[in-house]
Protein backbone atom coordinates (compact mmCIF):
# COMPACT_ATOMS: atom_id res chain seq x y z
CA UNK A 1 0.00 0.00 0.00
CA UNK A 2 1.43 3.31 -1.08
CA UNK A 3 1.64 5.92 1.65
CA UNK A 4 2.87 9.50 1.69
CA UNK A 5 3.86 11.42 4.81
CA UNK A 6 4.63 15.12 4.97
CA UNK A 7 7.02 16.53 7.55
CA UNK A 8 8.57 19.86 8.37
CA UNK A 9 8.31 22.91 10.63
CA UNK A 10 4.81 24.00 11.52
CA UNK A 11 5.83 27.63 12.03
CA UNK A 12 7.88 29.76 9.65
CA UNK A 13 8.77 33.44 10.03
CA UNK A 14 7.85 35.94 7.31
CA UNK A 15 10.51 36.36 4.60
CA UNK A 16 12.08 33.00 5.47
CA UNK A 17 11.97 29.76 3.49
CA UNK A 18 9.39 27.04 4.06
CA UNK A 19 10.82 23.53 3.70
CA UNK A 20 8.78 20.34 3.68
CA UNK A 21 9.55 16.73 2.88
CA UNK A 22 7.26 13.98 1.63
CA UNK A 23 8.37 10.45 2.48
CA UNK A 24 7.02 7.76 0.16
CA UNK A 25 6.54 4.18 1.33
CA UNK A 26 5.22 1.14 -0.50
CA UNK A 27 6.37 2.37 -3.91
CA UNK A 28 9.65 3.51 -5.43
CA UNK A 29 9.59 7.05 -6.78
CA UNK A 30 11.91 5.91 -9.58
CA UNK A 31 9.31 3.41 -10.84
CA UNK A 32 7.16 6.12 -12.35
CA UNK A 33 4.32 8.57 -11.73
CA UNK A 34 4.63 12.26 -11.01
CA UNK A 35 4.89 13.55 -7.46
CA UNK A 36 3.55 16.88 -6.34
CA UNK A 37 2.56 19.40 -3.73
CA UNK A 38 -0.84 21.00 -3.20
CA UNK A 39 -1.84 23.49 -0.53
CA UNK A 40 -5.06 24.69 1.05
CA UNK A 41 -5.24 28.01 2.93
CA UNK A 42 -7.64 28.05 5.89
CA UNK A 43 -11.24 27.96 4.68
CA UNK A 44 -10.24 28.00 1.02
CA UNK A 45 -9.83 25.61 -1.89
CA UNK A 46 -6.99 23.49 -3.19
CA UNK A 47 -4.07 25.07 -5.04
CA UNK A 48 -1.55 23.10 -7.06
CA UNK A 49 2.00 24.17 -6.23
CA UNK A 50 4.04 21.96 -8.53
CA UNK A 51 5.11 18.48 -9.56
CA UNK A 52 8.18 16.53 -10.45
CA UNK A 53 9.18 13.35 -12.22
CA UNK A 54 11.89 11.15 -10.75
CA UNK A 55 14.20 12.14 -13.59
CA UNK A 56 14.26 15.61 -12.10
CA UNK A 57 11.85 17.35 -14.47
CA UNK A 58 9.82 19.90 -12.56
CA UNK A 59 6.63 21.86 -13.25
CA UNK A 60 5.45 24.81 -11.17
CA UNK A 61 2.34 26.90 -10.77
CA UNK A 62 3.16 30.12 -12.63
CA UNK A 63 1.88 32.19 -9.70
CA UNK A 64 4.49 30.62 -7.39
CA UNK A 65 7.24 29.71 -9.83
CA UNK A 66 9.68 32.43 -8.77
CA UNK A 67 9.65 31.17 -5.16
CA UNK A 68 9.25 27.39 -5.48
CA UNK A 69 11.72 24.55 -5.76
CA UNK A 70 10.68 20.89 -5.75
CA UNK A 71 13.42 18.28 -5.62
CA UNK A 72 13.77 14.53 -5.23
CA UNK A 73 16.06 12.34 -3.16
CA UNK A 74 15.76 8.90 -4.73
CA UNK A 75 18.12 7.33 -2.18
CA UNK A 76 15.63 8.18 0.56
CA UNK A 77 12.55 7.73 -1.63
CA UNK A 78 11.31 11.19 -0.79
CA UNK A 79 10.74 14.56 -2.41
CA UNK A 80 10.82 18.04 -1.01
CA UNK A 81 9.29 21.49 -1.31
CA UNK A 82 11.02 24.79 -0.70
CA UNK A 83 9.05 28.03 -0.82
CA UNK A 84 11.05 31.19 -0.30
CA UNK A 85 10.15 34.66 0.95
CA UNK A 86 6.98 33.47 2.65
CA UNK A 87 4.24 35.76 3.87
CA UNK A 88 1.05 35.21 5.84
CA UNK A 89 -0.66 34.34 2.55
CA UNK A 90 1.42 31.14 2.47
CA UNK A 91 -0.22 29.87 5.65
CA UNK A 92 -1.96 26.66 4.64
CA UNK A 93 -2.23 22.92 4.96
CA UNK A 94 0.36 21.45 2.59
CA UNK A 95 -0.30 18.08 0.98
CA UNK A 96 1.93 15.86 -1.09
CA UNK A 97 0.32 13.54 -3.64
CA UNK A 98 1.07 11.06 -6.39
CA UNK A 99 -0.18 12.04 -9.83
CA UNK A 100 -1.14 9.63 -12.57
CA UNK A 101 -2.61 10.07 -16.00
CA UNK A 102 -2.09 10.11 -19.73
CA UNK A 103 -1.78 12.88 -22.26
CA UNK A 104 -4.49 13.61 -24.78
CA UNK A 105 -3.66 12.35 -28.28
CA UNK A 106 -5.60 13.32 -31.36
CA UNK A 107 -9.27 12.80 -30.63
CA UNK A 108 -8.55 10.68 -27.55
CA UNK A 109 -9.11 12.51 -24.29
CA UNK A 110 -6.38 12.54 -21.69
CA UNK A 111 -6.69 12.56 -17.94
CA UNK A 112 -4.72 13.48 -14.83
CA UNK A 113 -5.59 12.44 -11.30
CA UNK A 114 -4.02 12.31 -7.86
CA UNK A 115 -4.65 8.90 -6.42
CA UNK A 116 -2.60 8.90 -3.23
CA UNK A 117 -2.40 11.81 -0.80
CA UNK A 118 -0.56 12.46 2.40
CA UNK A 119 -2.53 13.50 5.48
CA UNK A 120 -1.26 17.05 5.16
CA UNK A 121 0.79 19.28 7.40
CA UNK A 122 -0.18 22.71 8.66
CA UNK A 123 2.29 25.51 8.13
CA UNK A 124 1.73 28.89 9.74
CA UNK A 125 3.70 31.94 8.68
CA UNK A 126 4.02 34.27 11.62
CA UNK A 127 6.66 36.16 13.54
Partner 1 sequence: SSELTQDPAVSVALGQTVRITCQGDSLRSYYASWYQQKPGQAPVLVIYAKNNRPSGIPDRFSGSSSGNTASLTITGAQAEDEADYYCNSRDSSANHHVVFGGGTKLTVL
Measured from the CB atom, the residue of 89 and 106 that comes closer to partner 1 is 106
Q: Which of these ranges, 15-23, 68-76, 83-91, 109-117, lies near partner 1 under the rule CB under 8 A?
A: 109-117
DSSP letter (8 states) at residue 30: G
Site string for partner 1, 3-42 (x = CB under 8 A): -------------------------------x-x-x----
Measured from the CB atom, the residue of 11 and 100 that comes closer to partner 1 is 100
91 near partner 1 (CB under 8 A): no
Residue burial 42-77, b: 16+ Cβ < 10 Å; e: rest: eeeeeebbbbbbbeeebebeeebeebbbbebeeeeb
Q: How many CB atoms neighbour CB 79 within 10 A?
A: 25
CA–CA distance, 68 with 105 (Å, rounded to integer): 30
- Positions that interact with partner 1 (CB under 8 A): 34, 36, 38, 45-48, 51, 57, 59, 61-63, 95, 99-101, 103-104, 109-115, 117-120
Amino acid sequence: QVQLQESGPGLVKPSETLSLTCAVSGYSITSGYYWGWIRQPPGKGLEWIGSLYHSGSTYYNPSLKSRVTISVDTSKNQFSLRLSSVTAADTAVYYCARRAGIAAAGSTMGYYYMDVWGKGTTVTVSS
